[in-house]
Structure 1
Amino acid sequence: MEEKKLDINSIIGFVLIFGILAYMLWQNQPTPEELEAQEKAKQEQVEAEQKVKQQEQTKFTAASEYEVGPEVDSIQKIALKNKLGAFALSAINASDKETNIETDLLALKFNNKGGYLSEVRLKKFVNYDSIPIYIIKDNNVDFNINFGTTDSRILNTRDLYFEPQVSKNGENTIVSMKLKVSETKFLEYRYELKPDDYMIDFSVKSQGLSDVFNSSQAINLDWKLKGYRHAKSISYENRYTDIHYEFEGGKADYTGARDADEDIEDVAWIGYKQHFFSSILLTDSPFKTANIKTENLVQEEEVDTVYTKMFASKLPLELKGGELNESMDWYYGPNDFKVLNAYDRNLDEIVPFGWGIFGWINRYVFMPLFAFLGGFMPYGIAIVVMTILVKILLSFVQYKQFLSQAKMKILKPELDAIREKYKDNKMKAQQETMALQTKAGASPLAGCLPALIQLPVFYALFQFFPSAFDLRQKSFLWADDLSSYDTVANLPFNIPFYGDHVSLFPLLASIAIFFYMRLTTGQNMQAQPQQEGMPDMAKMMKYMMYFSPIMMLFFFNNYASGLSLYYFISNLISIGIILVIKNYILDEDKIHAQIQENKKKPKKQSKFQAKMKEMMEQAEKQKQAQQKRKK
């Protein structure tokens, strides 16, 4: 075999490759500036590593920054003691975990850090998008007690770690969260949960801490909550989202939908109401004072929004014998009148049935009637049946109203003649007009009074349907949820004050209102005597006939479809009643004959009519005297 030898070409190739590599290394060597930067980076890395080691040694110097666990060295214990004082023991022994508890109605999580409820889910309800209803979730709540200590510290329970303990008391579950100084000295949050109850017994008690609390400094309970959106229309939900409270020995009030910042006294309970669900803090011994705040979190109603409003309360706590001892309750549940009323603590005031006579009508008439009907028929049908019953009950009022209009229509020629005869003496014309109406037994007021009688019922039902929890997520015809708007078409754009959808029930109600007003407005115009300014009045009434249905269409497009269904059926029935009265009950010839008979009979004036006549005569005399003096 021939031996291979290194020839001249190979040698030249190796030399060239080496030269090229040497040149590349020389070209890419770092500049003095780069060498300085590299040296500086190494130094910073060393300093950073030293800083991390220092932080690990002192990582418990702030309660909100440390990672707790069962193994803590002596240096960390000293740091904890310096920061937390007597409560360092809880931080050393605690762990940053949650305690999960479920009842028949509630799924709850208690956070060891802060000791408060960090999650509340209502197991029997879902929102408009079939997502479970959470009152508390993902840090939307802040519950804190702020206090001073005798060694000049200011502590917040939200930053401190509690030790949990779960036990049973019969069927009830007890969750004890303790912030310990020692095994015999602690601050305790105690929760007692019943199997089938939305109310949770809650107490804040301390033991052996009279030498820890600084009695000269205020102790405040701060409770904040961002309300989650639960309804399809956030603007509609926000209209019924506010703070309700009981104060001054049984009075109930609320902030309304606006932003609020109020100070109240002698407070028995505070409720963060979110249209159909509420979080309520109750106390056995009323808080002497409280500051409550609400803030609207919805900037643009057209944009998908997570939260509705921010709620905040600041409540002062008092030491008794140097210790805390507050017995309270939490309610997390639906704004169902029957559920709230059963607690007999005035919580049903959260349901906005209206004030005065309106609330009375809803509580004692419409609520029992609707509950009875809804017990054996679909709720949509129950609304229709209740509407029919209400209209039948008020049909005599409509009859009186239509009868008065018919009388005024028959008297119209005579009233026009009086005004023509005394066109230069308006006072005399009014006197003669009143005299004729009195003799005939007809008066414009007789047509107004029946309408006024219907107003309390109208307003009561306007308050009732948006507040009826039983309507929530109940379907009827094309409406998926009678407590929210029904949608038959989605628009590719948003119309101001109307929305981005078309609701059919408000549209039908608007059409029914138009025809109802056309009937009643025409009757009123025929009954009104001609006088100066009458053409302008006629135009205004004609405009109202078109304007009112349009307002109804815009106003109710985002309202509860159950309310629009009521107005639609109500106006249909009203139209039917008017047509029946007009065509089959009232006989204008008989009415005219009766008026003529009434005119022949001597008519005794009432005290009011006599007083009015006297005042008009005095005014006429004064006018004549003024005219003589001018001459």
Structure 2
Amino acid sequence: MDRNSAIGLTLIAVLLIGYFYWFSPQPQPVTPNVTATRPSVSEKKDSVQAAPSVPDDSVLQATYGDISVAMKGTEAPTVIETADIKVTFSNKGGSIKELELKKFQSYDQKYSKKVNDPLKLVSSEASELKLLSQYQGREIDLYSLFYQVDQKDVGDTTVVTFTVTLSSGSSIAHTYKIPKSGYEISYSIVSKGFDTQLTGENLNFQWNYTVKPLEKDLTDTRNNTTITYYTDEDGFGELPARATSTETEAFATPVKWVAVKQKFFLASFISKTNFAGGEVQSIVNTSDSSVVEKAAIKLSIPKKSLADGTANFKFYVGPNDYQVIGDVSERFKENVYLGWRPVYWINKFVIFPVFHFLTQHIANYGIIIIILVILLKLVLFPLSYRSYLSMAKMKVLKPELDEIKERVGEDMTKVQQEQMKLYQQVGVNPISGCVPVLLQMPILFAMFYLFPASIELRQQPFLWAEDLSTYDSLIQLPFIIPFGVGSHISLFTLIMTISTLIYTWQNNQLSSVQGPMKSMSYIMPVIFFFFLNSFSAGLTFYYFVSNLVTFAQQAIIRRFVDESKIRAIMEENKKKNAAGGGKKSKFMAKLEEAMKASEEARKRSEDDKKKRK
């Protein structure tokens, strides 16, 4: 192996490492998932005692006028339960106070007997809604008023309406429509003369949302938690997911929707027309393990939309599931990241439909992954065959290639020229084995994005892994290994690495590669172990099974590849070329021209140096 080849291989390794570091959802060392502690009884008493006293009726009347009648009352919940959610409204504010996902559990809830709380994406402790406007020159929060409640069923939908009616006859109502299944809640604000008493062009919707830990790996959760949004001008956008401090984005143009995106869940507010503008902010405190991230959302609702009946919205609070969120709103499904193009197209149109079809018929996700590997290997079998055949040709040529190196010596340019001449004589393209491998790379990367983003794998056990959506931590370490390994060894990642090393050794027996390049081929699987140790167990299990199927494929192909026949064909090609009947391929001709040009440039450079001396 010459120095230039070694440098080239090193650059390839650096590029691969850089790709996994900068463009992949790379986990960091694991931070223990500490569940937030509940305040003690004494703390609750202190908070109640510290609450500001409510002014008496005369003061309220003098300050706020007619609307003061809605500023005092007794808070009472309204609970609606469907097949998928349990949502709690309050007559104080006429807004959502809590929302529980009935079909999902947090990691602590599922695997710890000490935690029995349901998975609530919205709770009174972690979510605060405000709808601010100006009434008689004073700021008022419409989500702090006490409303009259009306509940009725319309077909399969439950309709809950919260209304405040003033003495003048004007009124404002918040109406929610909750279907019998699903995670969308329609919401509208209806005004009958009430809007004329509000000043300013817009109402300000504010949502302060605290993301609590729901998964095993807090650091991975932080790396996949952010605020996403869609504007007519810029399309889909998001705040940096890996931010470790405060990130802010202001919208000067209309906004369609804003969502707080976690790895597997979403809490979003969507307009059926557009919000006039707004601002989003995310705050991360890495020292607080009880909070993933804090989000602050501000959106402007045009006041005129209350009068013309276009103040129509919806909440989507539920799983970040590609199959579920596709029809929620424009480009809403991009909250599930399936990779860059063309990887995205492969995932969207090929891998994901097959994967989803299998999930509809097979309950065991480990078996689904095995079947997916076999299907893809069958489709890619022609490419695998051509790659193996190319390696077999290079193995046959190895003695002659070694003889050229011994005969020519240290002149690597001359060695390469002689080797190219040999390739031309026997009719072998030296890079024909690389092309099938390159064609398979998009599928390799498609899996890299698919499995970590698939909520279907969440909390699905297989063999020793309790959850295929995160790493298996069967082997715990008393210390932390840097570079993303953490304080555990994933057994799936370990056996994947071992199988890859065996596969590499097997290929090197067929290859003519020697020296640093051969050594580097063994180093790369070890490097990938560091990167993948804290990734989805489903992903590393897929790569492991893929290696096993590849071993079987090569064993089958080996039965149909006769090296003696390959040698005979090469000798026949050599005779034809010697007799002038051979035909040089365009690729070989261009490669030969490039090598000649490189040699001429080298000689000119050497001549110039001699002249200077």
Structures share fold, TM-score greater than 0.5? yes
Identity of aligned residues (%): 31
- Residue 211 of structure 2 is matched in structure 1 by 227
Which consecutive residues of structure 2, in runs of 5 or more, have no partner in the other structure? 1-50, 111-115
C-alpha distance in structure 1 between counterparts of 2:186 and 2:605, whole Å = 79
C-alpha distance in structure 2 between counterparts of 1:440 and 1:492, whole Å = 58
Counterpart mapping for 1:277-426 below 5 A: 277-299=265-287, 305-320=289-304, 323=307, 325-341=310-326, 343=328, 345-377=330-362, 378-418=364-404
Name the stretch that deviates more: 445-454 or 467-476. Answer: 467-476
Counterpart mapping for 1:117-128 below 5 A: 117-128=96-107
The answer to whether the 8 Å contact 1:506/1:561 transfers is yes
Distance 1:623 1:273, change over 3 A: closer
- Residue 478 of structure 1 is matched in structure 2 by 464
Aligned-partner SS, 2:450: helix
- Residue 52 of structure 1 is matched in structure 2 by none
Aligned-partner SS, 1:352: coil
Name the stretch that deviates more: 589-598 or 319-328. Answer: 319-328
**In structure 1, what residue type is equivalent to 2:153?**
K
Show CA shifts across 1:332-357 (max 9, x none): 22222222235575432222222322
**In structure 2, what residue type is equivalent to 1:122?**
L
Instruction: Return the offset for 1:586.
Output: 2.4
Distance 1:595 1:80, change over 3 A: same
Give the one of 484, 508, 514 matched to 2:501. Answer: 514
Distance 1:322 1:397, change over 3 A: closer
The answer to whether the 8 Å contact 2:190/2:306 transfers is no
- Residue 428 of structure 2 is matched in structure 1 by 442
Instruction: Return the offset for 1:199.
Output: 0.9
Aligned-partner SS, 1:214: strand
Give the one of 491, 505, 521 matched to 2:492. Answer: 505
Give the one of 530, 546, 570 matched to 2:546. Answer: 570
- Residue 51 of structure 1 is matched in structure 2 by none
Instruction: Return the offset for 1:553.
Output: 3.9
C-alpha distance in structure 2 between counterparts of 1:515 and 1:616, whole Å = 35
The answer to whether the 8 Å contact 2:264/2:321 transfers is yes
**In structure 2, what residue type is equivalent to 1:187?**
I
Larger radius of gyration: 1
Instruction: Return the offset for 1:627.
Output: 5.2
Distance 1:622 1:194, change over 3 A: closer
Aligned-partner SS, 1:356: coil
Distance 1:258 1:205, change over 3 A: farther
Give the one of 542, 557, 567 matched to 2:519. Answer: 542
**In structure 2, what residue type is equivalent to 1:573?**
V
Aligned-partner SS, 2:159: strand
Distance 1:96 1:568, change over 3 A: same
**In structure 1, what residue type is equivalent to 2:506?**
L
Instruction: Return the offset for 1:117.
Output: 0.9
Instruction: Return the offset for 1:282.
Output: 1.5
Instruction: Return the offset for 1:612.
Output: 4.4
C-alpha distance in structure 2 between counterparts of 1:125 and 1:626, whole Å = 69
Q: CA RMSD in A?
A: 3.0
The answer to whether the 8 Å contact 1:506/1:552 transfers is no
Instruction: Return the offset for 1:455.
Output: 0.9
| Match status 1:275 vs 2:263 | yes
- Residue 458 of structure 1 is matched in structure 2 by 444
C-alpha distance in structure 2 between counterparts of 1:492 and 1:619, whole Å = 55
Give the one of 564, 573, 578 matched to 1:589. Answer: 564
Q: Please report the TM-score for the alignment, with normalisation by the length of structure 2.
A: 0.80
Distance 1:413 1:190, change over 3 A: same
Name the stretch that deviates more: 286-295 or 487-496. Answer: 487-496
**In structure 2, what residue type is equivalent to 1:595?**
M
C-alpha distance in structure 2 between counterparts of 1:250 and 1:386, whole Å = 37
The answer to whether the 8 Å contact 1:147/1:213 transfers is yes
Instruction: Return the offset for 1:330.
Output: 0.8
Instruction: Return the offset for 1:564.
Output: 2.0
Show CA shifts across 1:516-572 (max 9, x none): 122224443xx13xxxxx74x24xx42551x44444444334332222221111112
Aligned-partner SS, 2:431: helix
C-alpha distance in structure 2 between counterparts of 1:344 and 1:212, whole Å = 33
The answer to whether the 8 Å contact 1:118/1:139 transfers is no
C-alpha distance in structure 2 between counterparts of 1:504 and 1:464, whole Å = 21
Instruction: Return the offset for 1:492.
Output: 5.0
Show CA shifts across 1:561-595 (max 9, x none): 2222211111122233334434x232222212212
| Match status 1:112 vs 2:102 | no
Which consecutive residues of structure 1, in runs of 5 or more, have no partner in the other structure? 1-63, 68-74, 529-533
C-alpha distance in structure 2 between counterparts of 1:490 and 1:423, whole Å = 52
- Residue 25 of structure 2 is matched in structure 1 by none
Instruction: Return the offset for 1:446.
Output: 1.4
Instruction: Return the offset for 1:284.
Output: 1.0
The answer to whether the 8 Å contact 2:267/2:315 transfers is yes
Show CA shifts across 1:238-278 (max 9, x none): 33322333332794343352233223544322222222221
C-alpha distance in structure 1 between counterparts of 2:176 and 2:272, whole Å = 15
C-alpha distance in structure 2 between counterparts of 1:562 and 1:360, whole Å = 21
The answer to whether the 8 Å contact 1:122/1:134 transfers is yes
Distance 1:244 1:522, change over 3 A: farther
**In structure 2, what residue type is equivalent to 1:232?**
K
Counterpart mapping for 1:176-187 below 5 A: 176-182=161-167, 184-187=169-172
Aligned-partner SS, 1:125: coil
C-alpha distance in structure 1 between counterparts of 2:396 and 2:537, whole Å = 42
| Match status 1:556 vs 2:556 | no
Show CA shifts across 1:108-159 (max 9, x none): 112333332110001222222234211011421122122234x322223344
Show CA shifts across 1:491-514 (max 9, x none): 455544334444322222222122
The answer to whether the 8 Å contact 1:340/1:347 transfers is yes
Show CA shifts across 1:445-470 (max 9, x none): 21221221111111111111122222
The answer to whether the 8 Å contact 2:393/2:428 transfers is yes
Distance 1:184 1:558, change over 3 A: farther
Distance 1:321 1:450, change over 3 A: closer
Aligned-partner SS, 1:222: strand
C-alpha distance in structure 1 between counterparts of 2:329 and 2:601, whole Å = 63
**In structure 2, what residue type is equivalent to 1:223?**
W
**In structure 1, what residue type is equivalent to 2:497?**
S
Show CA shifts across 1:79-109 (max 9, x none): 11344344212114x3233322222221111
Give the one of 161, 165, 172 matched to 2:150. Answer: 165
**In structure 1, what residue type is equivalent to 2:258?**
I
C-alpha distance in structure 1 between counterparts of 2:155 and 2:312, whole Å = 21
C-alpha distance in structure 1 between counterparts of 2:355 and 2:521, whole Å = 33
C-alpha distance in structure 2 between counterparts of 1:473 and 1:452, whole Å = 34
**In structure 1, what residue type is equivalent to 2:519?**
K
- Residue 58 of structure 2 is matched in structure 1 by 78
Aligned-partner SS, 1:479: coil
The answer to whether the 8 Å contact 1:258/1:296 transfers is no
The answer to whether the 8 Å contact 2:127/2:210 transfers is yes
Distance 1:623 1:256, change over 3 A: closer
Distance 1:153 1:288, change over 3 A: closer
The answer to whether the 8 Å contact 2:157/2:177 transfers is yes
Counterpart mapping for 1:23-42 below 5 A: none
**In structure 1, what residue type is equivalent to 2:123?**
K
**In structure 1, what residue type is equivalent to 2:570?**
I
- Residue 91 of structure 1 is matched in structure 2 by 71
C-alpha distance in structure 1 between counterparts of 2:343 and 2:200, whole Å = 48
- Residue 12 of structure 1 is matched in structure 2 by none
